Amino acid sequence: MSDSSALTDLSISEAAASLRCGETTSVALTQATLARIKETEPTVQAYATVTEELALESAERADRELADGHDRGLLQGIPIGVKDNCNTKGILTEVGSKAMEGFVPDYDSTVVAKLYAAGAVLIGKTRCHEWSCGGSEPPTRSAWDRDRFPGGSSIGSGVALSARSAFGTIGTDTGGSIRIPATLNNLVGMKATYGRVSAYGVLPLAWSLDHVGPLTRTARDNAIMLGAIAGHDPNDANSARVDVPDFLTDIDGGVQGIRIGIDRDYFLYPGVVDSVRVVTEAVIDELAALGAKIIEVKLPELESTRETQMTIRMVESASYHRHRIREKGHLYSPGTRATLQMGEVILATQYVAALRARERFRSAMKDLFRREYLHALISSTIPVSAPLLEDVWRPRDDMENGETPTDGFVHHVYPANLSGQPAISAPGGFTPEGLPIGYQLMGRPFDEATLYRIAYAYERTQNWHKRQPPQV
Amino acid sequence: MTKIDQPADPATSADQLVRLAEMLRLDFAEENLAALAEQLRLIDALEHAELEDFPPILRMDADWHE
C-alpha cells in the first residue's frame, strides 16, 4: 500500500493486521497521518499541538520492535491523538485555556503512559473547549458541515478522527464530552464505568463525574483502545480494583438473548426530532431482528438527573478553580469563568443532597436492571442532529418550553455520568441531509464488553461507520 | 433575624444567591442565578421528599445481575 489516503482510511484493526503481515509500517502510517494533518488542519483545526518528531521516533521504534518479535498488542505503531487536558511529559498541555498557556507537564497522565506502554504513536494533542466545559469555542470545525456544531468538549478528538487525521483518539466525558462528539462525527465513543480508566494526570472538570475514554471509527477499534488504557491505578483514588477483560473475546457473540430496555417517555420525549426518532427506532428494530429482546421500561428517577449532575459539577469545578481564578481570572473567558465559579454559592448541604440524589438514581437504575434482567438501556445519544453553530445555545423554534439543543444533549447524556454506568455512542444512521446520528447504550457497571457486543452486531449489519465526511 | 425555633425555609431563592454572590464578591448574571435557584429548589425538594434512605456515596458495584 502506498497511497496515503488508503492508509489513513484503515481502521485500527486493519492497520494492525497490515503491520503484522508486512503490508505497511508504522512509519508509513505515521507519515500518512502527518500528511493528512497538513492537508486537513487548515479546514478543521482539530489539533492544538502536532508531535511530528516524537511520532516518527515512536513509529521507528514500533517497527523495530515488531521486526524483533516484540509485539505489544494491536495499538503498537498506531497513530493516536490525545485530548489536550491529558498531561503529556514535555509536550504542551493547555486545555484550551489562556491561563494554561505554555504549560508543559513534567509527567504523563496514566492514560498517556498506558498508550505509550501499548506502543501507540502519539500524533498530537487534540483541541478541547476551555477547561472542558464548553464555555467558549475553539476554531475547530466539523468535517461534515463546517457551519454545524461538531460536539464538545472533546471537539478535536471527534473531528480529527472523522477527518482521518488519527486512527483513534482519547477524550474525556463529564457530561457527554466523549459521546456527543462521537454522535456528531459518526464515531464510536465509550465512556466506560467510573473508575475503569484512570483519571490521574487529567486536568479535572468535576472529579466524581469525570471519565476518560476512547473515540474510534469502529466498535472493534474502541474495544482495542479501552483494553489498552483500562485498569487499576494506585495514583487515582477513584480507580477501580476490577479485572480488565479482553473486550474482543466475545465481541462477535451476537445479541441473541440480550435484553435491552427503552424508556420511551424519557428518551423519546417531544424534544427528539423526527430524523433522530426514525433512526433510533430503526436501530431498535434491527437489534430485535438480530435476536435481542426489547423491553419497555419506566424510570421516573431520570427526571431529576440534570439538576443533580449540575449541582455536583458546579461545586466540584468551583473547588478546583477557586484559587486559580482568583490569581488568573482575567485569563478565563467570562462565560467559562462564571460557569466554573458559580458553584461557590451552592451550600455544602445542597451539594451533599445532590450526592444523595445521585445514590438514589444509581440505586433505582440498579433495581431496574435487576428487575428486568437488562443488559443495556438504549436511546439516541442526543435528541437532535448537529445544530448550526449559532443555534447551539438558542431556544429551539420547535420547542415551546425554551429548550436549547444543549439542553437536549444533557437530557440524554447526563444520566450515565451520574450513575457511573458505562455508556457507548455508535453510528446509527443519517439525516436526509447527510448528518450523522448516533445511538447510545448504557450498561451494567464494568460490563463494557456487552455494549461492544451489541454495537458490533449492529455495525456488521450496516455501513454507516464507513461513510466519510464531505468537507475534507 | 430568624429565631432558632423558627427555622428558615430551606428552599434557596434567587435573592439569597444574589446576596451570597455579593458577599463573596462574585459577579454573576441575574438570570443565571435565577436558573441556579430553580435548580437548587428542585434539589431541596427532592431531599425533603425522597432522599431519607440514601447516603452521599458513589458505589460502583459490579453485581447488578446477582
In chain A the first and final C-alpha atoms are separated, in Å, by 22
Q: Does B34 touch chain A (CB under 8 A)?
A: no
Whole-model pTM: value is 0.96
**Rounded Cα distance, A418 and A413, in Å:** 9
pLDDT tens-digit readout, A208-251: 999 999 999 999 999 999 999 999 999 999 999 999 999 999 99
pLDDT of residue B2: 40
Contact (Cβ atoms closer than 8 angstroms) between residue A220 and residue A248: yes
Residue A315 has a CB neighbour count (10 Å cut-off) of: 24
pLDDT of residue A231: 98
**Rounded Cα distance, B43 and B46, in Å:** 5
pLDDT of residue A136: 67
Q: Does A319 touch chain B (CB under 8 A)?
A: no
pLDDT of residue A368: 97
Mean pLDDT of chain A: 96
**Rounded Cα distance, A341 and A346, in Å:** 10
pLDDT tens-digit readout, A385-406: 999 999 999 999 999 999 999 9
Provide the percentage of residues in chain A whose pLDDT is more than 90.
96
Kindly list the domain boundaries of chain A, sorted by start residue.
Answer: 4-229, 259-466
What CATH class has A259-466?
A: alpha beta
Decide if B60 and A195 are in contact by the 8 Å CB cutoff.
Answer: yes
pLDDT tens-digit readout, A148-201: 999 989 999 999 999 999 999 999 999 999 999 999 999 999 999 999 999 999
pLDDT tens-digit readout, A438-468: 999 999 999 999 999 999 999 999 989 999 9
CB contacts of A354 in chain B (<8 Å) are: 43
> What count of Cα atoms within 13 Å lies in the side-chain half-sphere of residue A437?
24
pLDDT tens-digit readout, B1-22: 444 444 455 567 888 899 999 9
Active site residue A58: no
pLDDT of residue A2: 42
Active site residue A177: yes
**Rounded Cα distance, A87 and A94, in Å:** 9
| DSSP per-residue string spanning A344-411 | GGS-HHHHHHHHHHHHHHHHHHHHHHHHTT-SEEEEESSSSSPPBGGGTTSPPTT-TT---HHHHHHH
Decide if B17 and A345 are in contact by the 8 Å CB cutoff.
Answer: yes
Three cell numbers, residue A250 = 466475545
Provide the percentage of residues in chain A whose pLDDT is more than 70.
99
CATH code reported for the domain at A4-229:
3.90.1300.10
Question: A interface mutation test: which of B9, B23, B24, B39 has the most A CBs within 10 A?
Answer: B39
For residues A109-126, average pLDDT? 98
Contacts of A155 (CB under 8 A, 6+ apart): A46, A126, A127, A128, A129, A138, A140, A181
Residue A32 dihedral angles phi and psi, to the nearest 5°: -65, -40
For residues A333-354, average pLDDT? 95
Active site residue A83: yes
Decide if B43 and A357 are in contact by the 8 Å CB cutoff.
Answer: yes
For residue A66, pLDDT beyond 70: yes
pLDDT of residue B1: 42
pLDDT of residue B49: 86
For residue B64, pLDDT beyond 60: yes
Contact (Cβ atoms closer than 8 angstroms) between residue A402 and residue A395: yes
pLDDT tens-digit readout, A299-322: 999 999 999 999 999 999 999 999
CB pairs under 8 A between A and B: 100
Nearest chain B alpha carbon to A372: B65
Q: Does B50 touch chain A (CB under 8 A)?
A: yes
pLDDT of residue B66: 67
**Rounded Cα distance, A457 and B50, in Å:** 40
Phi-psi region of A131 (alpha: psi -120 to 50; beta: other; left: phi over 0): left
For residue A138, pLDDT beyond 90: no
pLDDT of residue B7: 46
For residues B39-57, average pLDDT? 91
Kindly list the domain boundaries of chain B, sorted by start residue.
Answer: 14-49
Provide the percentage of residues in chain B whose pLDDT is more than 90.
48
For residues B24-53, average pLDDT? 92
For residue A411, pLDDT beyond 90: yes
pLDDT of residue A388: 96
Q: Does B39 touch chain A (CB under 8 A)?
A: yes
Interface pTM, i.e. ipTM:
0.88
pLDDT of residue B63: 84
